[in-house]
Amino acid sequence: MFCPECKSLMISSGGQMKCRKCGYIRKITGDDHLQITRRMREKEIVIVEDGESLRTLPTIAVKCPKCEHNLAFWWLRQLRSADESEVRFFRCCECGHTWREYD
């Protein structure tokens, strides 16, 4: 719910909706749909799986932790908030093992 006065997000408290910014208060009615979230859900990580698109990815000389081959495909994904660095994924060209590195 957003405050009709200042357009800020309102919070539920004691059967009322309160605006923390301007102090506007109104009672919760039957038309209000509130959802209580106790914990944040983790987003699924999408890893490139299409064999055709792997051929177009760049390669880098890096040692695979599984088979110790020294060539892997790599790509970047923004998994966290925008102010944090991207995650670098690698997939071994020999065995197909996928791993990631954080900066």
Domains of the chain, CATH where assigned = 1-38 (2.20.70), 51-102 (2.20.25.10)
pTM: 0.48
Task: Looking at mean pLDDT, say which of 39-48, 77-86, 92-101 comes out highest.
Answer: 92-101
79 pLDDT above the threshold of 90: no
pLDDT band for 16, please (50, 70, 90 cuts): confident
CB atoms within 10 A of CB 71: 14
**Residues 23 and 31 sit within 8 Å (Cβ to Cβ):** no
67 pLDDT above the threshold of 90: yes
DSSP letter at 14 equals: T
Going by C-alpha positions, the residue among 34, 35, 38, 18 that lies closest to residue 26 is 18
Contact partners, residue 22, CB within 8 Å, separation at least 6: 3, 5, 6, 8
